[in-house]
Amino acid sequence: QVQLVQSGAEVKKPGSSVKVSCKASGGTFSSYTISWVRQAPGQGLEWMGRIIPILGIANYAQKFQGRVTITADKSTSTAYMELSSLRSEDTAVYYCAREGYWFDPWGQGTLVTVSS
């Protein structure tokens, strides 16, 4: 049974970067795809991008191209999502999830607050 555990809440200044981790247990990490999804307060879900650890290939939603980097460390079964040039609109809960044309399971979510 795959479980995903994310890093803790972050408070960042506008213009800075944040890196959120997602550690997997159970299953074979390299064999599945990890996606990142965010949800701004009171808003809907938004797909940001994915990584396929076994291939080391990431692709991103057009909206986040150039500002997001998703990586994976197979040795620790951990995926990372780094978002740069943060602005107030990036305040959201960020989720990782195993992807297979659907999302399951999900991590518990990481709240990132961007505030001066």
Partner 1 sequence: QSALTQPASVSGSPGQSITISCTGTSSDVGGYNYVSWYQQHPGKAPKLMIYDVSNRPSGVSNRFSGSKSGNTASLTISGLQAEDEADYYCSSYTSSSTLVFGTGTKVTVL
Where on the chain is the footprint of partner 1 (CB under 8 A)? 35, 37, 44-47, 59, 61-62, 95, 99-109
What's the alpha-carbon Rg for the chain, to the nearest Å? 13
Nearer to partner 1, 16 or 108 (CB): 108
- What is the per-residue DSSP string for 27-92? S-GGGSEEEEEEE-TT--EEEEEEEETTTTEEEE-GGGTTTEEEEEETTTTEEEEEE-S--GGG-E
Q: What minimum distance in Å lies between the beta carbon of 61 and partner 1? A: 6
Nearer to partner 1, 32 or 47 (CB): 47
Q: What minimum distance in Å lies between the beta carbon of 100 and partner 1? A: 8
Q: What minimum distance in Å lies between the beta carbon of 38 and partner 1? A: 11
Q: Which residues of 90-102 are buried (b: 16+ CB within 10 A; e: fewer)?
A: bbbbbbbbbbeee
Nearer to partner 1, 1 or 31 (CB): 1
Q: What minimum distance in Å lies between the beta carbon of 79 and partner 1? A: 16
The SS3 assignment for 100 reads: coil
Nearer to partner 1, 42 or 75 (CB): 42
